[in-house]
Every structure is written in C-alpha cells, then in structure tokens.
Structure 1
Amino acid sequence: MIDAYKNTEAASPVIGVILMVAITVILAAVIAVLAFGLGGDAQKTPVAAIVVMNNQDTPEPDIKIVHKGGDRLIGGGWKLSIVQVGHPVAFITASPSSDFGVGEQFSAFNTTAVNASNLTDKGFDGGVPLERGKSYDVKFIEYPSEALLYDAVIEVR
C-alpha cells in the first residue's frame, strides 16, 4: 500500500508564498489606483513669462507689465501686488473680463492697495502714485493655484 499523503510537508510553505505574493500584488494595485487616480482631476497650473520694467515711453513714473510668453491668463484668475519695499503685499485680483495673453501689456502708475479696484489688462485704480528713485516689490500670481509668476524688486526711473 502506498501512502499518498506521506510527502505533504512542502505544500504548506509554497501555498503561503503564493498567497503572500498575491496579497502584495493586490495591495500594490490598490495603492496605484489611489495615488494616480485621485490626482487625475487636478487642473494644469498655467505657465507664463511675465516681465516688469520701467516704461521709457511715458514721462510719468510708471512701470510696464508685459506678458512675454506661455499660457494665456484668464480674467479673474491672476493677481498683482505692487508695494514700496518694506510694505506688506497687497494683492488685487484681475476683473473677470481681463484675460492677459502673450504680447499684451499694461502700465501701472500706482501701488496696489487692498481697496484698489478695477484691475484690468489696462491698469487699475487705487493706491498711491509711484515715485522716481524708489524701489517697489512687484509680485504677479496665478490664482487659485497661487503659482508665483513674477517676484522682483524694481526701481522706478
């Protein structure tokens, strides 16, 4: 008589290893779905080359803000702060109709202020007039991602 169950010692460890590999593969699949699936709805942050310079075309002390390249910034989706160095930032939001695209520019004659209004691609109201020889901290961000597109100090000439 042959004992069919005589050599069963190796079956248990092999089955255990196969189950561990299966569990690992399932866990890896679940983690991959969670990691890559949840971030799929995120919006692309716009990229834009914004340049701020002294405006030599006008006799008044002002600065020119130029969109040199990249994505079009949608009205209501970008903010600007122009404050004298040492003062807290004062972002104002562009009006919904103020898209800012490549090649477009506008001049700023004033600092931004919390109570400033009507920020368009043509300029804004509020703040105090810029003065020659003074330095101003200029920040330009895309909203809602808060991506900083420009951040520099410029001296008005």
Structure 2
Amino acid sequence: MISRRVFLMAGTALAAAFALRGLTPLAWAAGMEPFEVVKSDAEWRAALTDDQYRILRHEDTERPFTSALNHEKRKGTFQCAGCALPLYSSEANYDSGTGWPSFWQSLPNAVATWEDNSLLMTRTECHCRRCGGHLGHIFDDGPPPTGKRHCINGLALAFVLSR
C-alpha cells in the first residue's frame, strides 16, 4: 500500500514534469502536444494579475457580472490575456444574460477543448490553443448559427479595437 506522503510527492513530481514540457495535466490527459507559449509558474505570476493567474493557469472562474467586457459592444477582437492570441471576434459576441462574456463561435484555430467532468457534470472546457490558458466552457444553448455559447471569463481576455 502506498502512503499518502509518497502519493503526494509522486503527484507533485508528475505535475512538475508536465509543466516543464508545457503541458497541464488536463492537456496531457486530452492528448495535446506542448503549447507554443511556455512559461514557468514564476513567469506566469509576473505577467498576470493575481485574478488572471488564478483563472488562466488554475482554471478558476470569476464572479458573474463583474467583467467590464460584459458591456463591450465596439468592433474589435478579444485576445488571450496570457499570450495575446486573437480568440473571438466582436461579431460573434452576444449578451447571454449569464454574467460572463459570451460568443457563438471562436476564431479559427484559436481554442482547444476537452471534456471537463468536475462538479458532477460533463462540460466542454476551452483553453487558448497557444498558451493553454483556461478561458471558460462551451455549452449547447447558444444562438444560431452554431447553437453554441462560449461562456468566457472576462479576465482571461483583452479587448483590442479594430482600426
């Protein structure tokens, strides 16, 4: 029988090995390759605010109705706050009434998805495909033409106006 201490030490070592290869344990489980943008934990902490770090790197969720991006109606692009990859066009942005910025589709080759079985349910989790930053979840209750709702943490995004 393995002791709790040995189990925790082995788990920590495995997580560190994933991080060195640019993978999160969830990305590894989903069969993803290492991300293009790879930073150490200290580099991510220095580059992001505490709340952005908690959301992008530890898959947390911001409180609903707290993001300034809920009211963003200008023409532009929503980028990853971690690596500046363009993720969503303002043309796909809509008010879902859920309290988080919502989109009916992402830009091509912008997000990676995998199954999230936390909270006693199955959801589709989405991440920035370039840095692996956690964005939010995708649900099947969105508007036409896709019927999808990309429910995204506003702190995971940066808005850039179109010129």
Shared fold (TM-score, shorter chain, > 0.5): no
What is the TM-score of this pair, normalised by structure 2? 0.26
Hey, which of these two has a bigger chunk of strand by percent? Answer: 1
Larger radius of gyration: 1
Hey, which of these two has a bigger chunk of helix by percent? Answer: 2
